[in-house]
Amino acid sequence: MASFPARISARTGLCAAVALLALAAGTAHAQSMSYDTGDSVSADDGAEGGSARGSDRAGRGERRGEGISARGAGSGVRTRITPYLEVAQSVLAELSPGNDVLTYSTVAAGVDMQLAGRRTEGAVSVRYERRFSESGGSNGRNGGSGDTISGLARVKHDLIPRTLAIEAGGLAARTRVEAGGGASLNALANSDSVSQVYSLYAGPALSTHAGVVGINASYNVGYTKVESPKSLQVAPGQPLVDVFDHSVAHAAQVSAGVKPGDVLPIGLTASAGYAQEDISNLDQRVREYRAGVQATLPVTTDLALVGDVGWNDVEVSSRDAVRDGTGAPVRGSDGRFKTDKSQARKIAYETDGLTWDVGVMWRPSRRTSLSAFVGRRYDSTTYYGSFSYAPNARSSLSINVFDGISGFGSSVGNAVRELPTDFEVTRNPFSGDVSGCAIGEKSGGCVNGVLGSVSSSVFRGRGVNATYGFNVGRLKMGVGAGYTRRKFIGARGTVLAAANGTVDENFYVSGGVSGEIDRNSSFGVAVYDSWYKSGRSALADVNSYGANATYSRQIAERLQGTAAIGLDGINREAIEDQLIASGLIGLRYSF
């Protein structure tokens, strides 16, 4: 498989992809239909894993997720493109463990797009920011001069209505790397541990019929890059963090099926899928094939029983690092292990054989959907499912339970695909970074959970995430929470063997409220808290928390003034805790 050219800058790739995102389209999981439609229903285990299953099981046609963002259901937003320029003056004051104070100014340019045409729907928010340090920062903390790109995008476009579509999406965000590979979206801490994440994906989806047989197929390719100049040692005595570099992921699936009553009292669907992720760190590779037959038995017009029997083949492999004369692994100039390409691949995990799933799907209305499944996969019992409830235009609830094997790149790409296409981005007023969370009219999504670890090792990820959004009058409120458990996989006889079987856990919760004060002013308040627990060392446990408040005032027709205050803290076992207070005043001109 051809790998992405290493010399191409991830930033350049993201900028070049903005045009694609604005035009691209497609129906994500277009093969996933309600059980009474007769279209394909193939298995997928959720956003975090899903390395070989690019399609959702029927009953999961709407995006699931976690986190918060301010967008009201049924707000009637049409296509809107808003470029802007922004300048701001900020101050960061370290309250603990020292008393360092940093002042800096920023200049930013960005564009926010809401696309709601007859054939195109989606949302794009991309921002470039340049920071100029003015004073302070003597301890090297809290970032100095530099530039960043941040953004979130998901766009669908129907090339042939209801038949052929194309979809594209992307993420650019900063994370703070912690001991053990943990990470947090709060990037205001020591600049040495801040890294940039870029992820892009695109692909077509086909949905058609041959008589009573529904035929569906889709393909997507994704690229994820973590910019880090070196592996990281967060504290003396802690192991070096082998930070993920980049990966290329492919996923394809095809299915054909008939709905209940067309041929038999039950619906039958045959499906096959393939996925592969190639990770640059030590040439790791996750490859999965799957084929199966699914039967759907309607119990009532709203409820169906589903059973699936199939065959699954999964393999995880890698190479070892180059060894010196003493047998110690050799690191390159970037701090990552140098891959020994002269040696054959070593198998870290493999399984093949029969798989099965049984479950229920309940869809009493277009605004309510439940699917719950239990089965056998990866040599163990698996549980997954989803629930969405949007009783009216003012509120929406989404819950997702997932289980799958993947690398960091696939998990990020899958999480972006789970976002709704009608989201609005919430940004940190001080760093300009996206919060990673979004809520749309019927569902929500978030990438916080998948960004909770930037370790290079392949893992089996299980967890749950949930979002709830509510609008009342001029207020918009949202809350999200999630839990992810990663069990890492590494081949014996390689440097990755030290990670094999270790487990890390990530919990997070975030919430926010925003609204209008009067015709010319508005406010926003956001809070977050996340916990990371490493299986490699108890000293790597981290708690990251914070809150910020923003006041905005319309000065002229296109000119807006903003003032913000914030407090961010980090509690760590490995090194001293940190607490930072922030303040900002700024101006934005929208075109």
Q: Fill in the DSSP letter of residue 53.
A: -
pLDDT value for 190: 46
Summarised one tens digit per residue, pLDDT across range 14-47 is 344 433 343 333 333 333 333 333 333 333 444 4
pLDDT value for 16: 41
Q: Has residue 185 got a pLDDT over 70?
A: no
pLDDT value for 490: 93
How far apart, in Å, are the Cα atoms of 506 and each of 156, 484, 528, 563?
31, 5, 14, 32
Residue 34 or 79, more confident: 79
For residues 368-392, average pLDDT: 93
Enter the tokens of residue 342: 């002269």
End-to-end CA distance of the chain: 44
For the chain, give the mean pLDDT.
Answer: 82
Q: Has residue 345 got a pLDDT over 90?
A: yes
Least confident interval from 18-32, 277-291, 364-378:
18-32
For residues 380-406, average pLDDT: 91
Question: pLDDT-derived band of residue 85, with 50, 70 and 90 as boundaries?
Answer: very high
* Whole-number Å distance between alpha carbons of 161 and 151: 29
Summarised one tens digit per residue, pLDDT across range 136-158 is 654 444 455 778 899 999 999 99
For residues 521-541, average pLDDT: 84
Q: Kindly report the pTM of this predicted structure.
A: 0.83
Enter the tokens of residue 403: 């289980």
| Domains defined along the chain, listed by start | 24-590 (2.40.170)
pLDDT value for 142: 44
pLDDT value for 360: 96
* Whole-number Å distance between alpha carbons of 491 and 284: 10
Question: pLDDT-derived band of residue 93, with 50, 70 and 90 as boundaries?
Answer: very high
Identity at 467, one-letter amino acid code: T
Is residue 552 a contact partner of residue 562, using CB atoms and an 8 Å limit? yes
For residues 532-545, average pLDDT: 79
Question: pLDDT-derived band of residue 74, with 50, 70 and 90 as boundaries?
Answer: very low
* Whole-number Å distance between alpha carbons of 17 and 11: 10
Is residue 47 a contact partner of residue 466, using CB atoms and an 8 Å limit? no
Q: Which helix (H) or strand (E) holds 94?
A: strand 80-96
Least confident interval from 61-75, 343-357, 490-504:
61-75
Q: Which helix (H) or strand (E) holds 415?
A: helix 408-417
Q: Has residue 108 got a pLDDT over 70?
A: yes
